[in-house]
A and B are shown apart, each in its own frame.
Chain A
Amino acid sequence: MNFTYWSWDTFFDALPFVLQGLGITVGLTITCYLFALTFGFVWTFLRRVPNKAFNWIVTWTMEFIRSTPPLVQLFFIYYAWPMIPGVGFALNPFASAVLGLGIHFSTYVGEIYRSGIESVDKGQWEASRALNFTTLDKWKKIILPQAIPPTIPMLGNYFIIMFKEVPLASTIGVAGIMLMANTYGAQNWAYLEPLTIVGIIFLVLSYPSAVLIKKLEVKMNTRFDKNAAVKSDQKGAVM
């Protein structure tokens, strides 16, 4: 093995250049994530429409978006959407990435919301009905406050997953760290150091977040563990 091609000079020369893109990468991650969190509700809502045919269409649309490459979906929105007669209009790379990645991950987020809502005990639905709650109040005061918190660790995981998918946007020209590294590489014919920097940035940012979310998960599990709640109730009854 020889490491003659590795140069610390290039490394430190490329570092500030690549870091210029960090703001865009993080900004795009947060924007995509907020989009996915919001749009996820739309899927959850659509899936709850009590019509079999409609339900089937929604389910398979979600399956289609989820099992096809986000890269192709990005290209579709960036290159193809403006070409659709009537509805199409050109979007800048950043907006295309928000839409493409946002919609892709909203299908996952929608499923998480659904699992949260389904995990709410049947008695809670019956109670809110017995107490004559309006539909809005039922969701606002009874169902969602119980459905959302247990899903927070899972949603957090998707934030990290999304962060790692964001460099795909470099292919349509979003100037995040990935594009910066490729630009530096093309200008100086030195790809190794800038790409290593990108890898290190991802590792440094995503690993601590993953550890943090794991901690959150343990905390949530003890807090929302139904069995634990029942056990403590029984203990109370005995005492």
Chain B
Amino acid sequence: MVTINAIIDIAPQLARGLSVTVSVLLASAIFAYLMAFIAGLSRLSKNTFIRKFTGLYVEVFRGTSLIVQLFWLYYAIPMLFGIQLGSNWWIGVIAIGLNYGAYLSEVVRGSILSVAKGQTEAATALNMSSFQRMRLIIFPQAVRMMLPEFSNYTIQMLKGTSLVSLIGMTDILYYGDIIRSTNLSQAPLVYLLVLVFYFILALPLIWLTRKGETISKKGVAS
């Protein structure tokens, strides 16, 4: 019964961090999706400069880890450019968004390239412009294939949001650390509850991933 009382005591304290975790997740997810489509399409551009430049972005952000990028942005941006980025919230969102945007841009690129070549040819035969071809023929088919990977990477982003506690954001993990530092013997329960909080947030995304897998397979000849 001691445990149940402790849970009732700890859970509401952790819940105070929910808003930060969820808001960072939502904002960085939107930012990452945006970057994914911009970078993914740019890497298929005919312009060599655009292609090389986006390639550089993708390789740099995929080649270094999120925690390094987060700290780099946290310390470097104010120093390098002499500006304050508003708040740590923005630094977290930008770091996670740029990092996973780079990963997701590869998903966008791969899906577009995997649309059968006959589709492009058919669209050309129907005298469509290259924009129409992408918008009406290629893209709608490619988006379906992206679904499972997008929700899968959103789970990764949720895991990544825990890092913002390291730059002083008051997310779930931050409150967990506070409780642990005042009462060390409660550490097992505190961190277990923190994990459960993250898992509950991840559940809809897990469901979405599985759903996305069935949608992306539907009506596609294997």
Contact = CB atoms under 8 A, between A and B. Distances in A.
Contacts of B173: 69, 71-72, 75
20 contacts: A2-B81, A6-B80, A68-B159, A68-B199, A69-B160, A71-B162, A71-B173, A72-B162, A72-B194, A72-B195, A80-B180, A80-B190, A164-B65, A191-B71, A192-B75, A195-B75, A196-B76, A202-B68, A203-B64, A206-B63
B212 interface: no
Contact of A3 (B80, B176, B186, B192): B80
A229 to B, nearest CB: 18
Given A72-B194, A191-B79, A195-B76, A207 B68 contact: no
B188 A81 contact: yes
A63 B206 contact: yes
B95 to A, nearest CB: 12
Contacts of B195: 64, 68, 72-73, 76
A67 B191 contact: no
B138 interface: no
Interface string A194-231: 01101100110011001000000000000000000000
A199 B81 CA distance: 19
Interface of A: 1-3, 5-6, 63-64, 67-73, 75-76, 79-81, 83-84, 88, 164-168, 170-171, 178, 182, 185, 191-192, 195-196, 198-199, 202-203, 206-207, 210
Contact of B202 (A67, A195, A207): A67
Given A80-B187, A80-B191, A165-B65, A207 B79 contact: no
B72 A83 contact: no
A220 B59 CA distance: 24
Interface of B: 59-60, 62-69, 71-72, 75-76, 79-82, 155, 158-163, 166, 173, 176-177, 180, 184-188, 190-192, 194-195, 198-199, 202, 205-206
Contact of A84 (B188, B194, B202): B188
B218 to A, nearest CB: 21
Contact of A199 (B72, B80, B160, B198): B72
Contacts, number: 124
Contacts of B62: 210
Contacts of A76: 188, 191-192, 195
Contact of B187 (A3, A83, A165, A171): A83
Contacts of A81: 188
Contacts of B188: 76, 80-81, 83-84, 88
A69 B180 contact: no
A199 B80 CA distance: 16
Contacts of B69: 199
A83 B81 contact: no
A185 B75 contact: yes
